[in-house]
A and B are shown apart, each in its own frame.
Chain A
Amino acid sequence: DTEVTQTPKHLVMGMTNKKSLKCEQHMGHRAMYWYKQKAKKPPELMFVYSYEKLSINESVPSRFSPECPNSSLLNLHLHALQPEDSALYLCASSQASGPYNEQFFGPGTRLTVL
């Protein structure tokens, strides 16, 4: 069983809506990630938080706004999205910084923007 949980599992929103995706990990990890995955493509990194601070933003549009309230929680706030933003949004976590850390994924939120 995955120890990274994500809610909601599915989300349909209009281009003017504001919604949030939530992620929680129960492994005591100190790094957390947001990825976006389109069909038949590998995951694309969006953001990395390390010790609750944003350490990497892969030039993501400002309509995506991450937040890390504490070391176990990660949110992704969505506003004024475009239909091309429809995708599977994956949260992951890893034990620590450095090149050897293994990332573990939540089940994802499947987002559809109308």
Chain B
Amino acid sequence: RKEVEQDPGPFNVPEGATVAFNCTYSNSASQSFFWYRQDCRKEPKLLMSVYSSGNEDGRFTAQLNRASQYISLLIRDSKLSDSATYLCVVNKGSNYQLIWGAGTKLIIKP
């Protein structure tokens, strides 16, 4: 089993729709969780950090379920500019080291 698993997609979603991604992790000692977005040939950009049960920022909501060891990302009212790869990232339980999921590709269609 991979340490962080994501559905690679692609998710093809019409503009304005709501889309949700899930990510599961295997290390129960992980304490912090992140969603990054990465555009083609660009660097990963931090989208949201999740330290407790969840976090919300505008159209984006992240939720953490420690019992089931998964994190979700919900995007409401999706925009064309939301098209990107979304990477689920989990702290390894020790300093510095992050475990990266393989990413979920999202394509928003007009």
Seen from chain A, the residues whose Cβ lies within 8 Å of a Cβ on chain B are: 2, 31, 33, 41-43, 45, 48, 50, 55-56, 88, 90, 94, 97-108, 110
| Cβ B51 vs Cβ A100 within 8 A | yes
Contacting residues, chain A, for B46 (C-beta < 8 A):
102-104
Q: Is B22 an interface residue (CB 8 A)?
A: no
Interface size on B, residues (CB 8 A): 24
| Cβ B43 vs Cβ A45 within 8 A | no
Seen from chain B, the residues whose Cβ lies within 8 Å of a Cβ on chain A are: 30-32, 34, 41-46, 49, 51, 87, 91, 93-98, 100-103
CA gap between A110 and B41 in the complex, in Å: 9
| Cβ B91 vs Cβ A99 within 8 A | yes
Q: From B45, which residue of chain A is reached at the shortest CB distance? A: A105
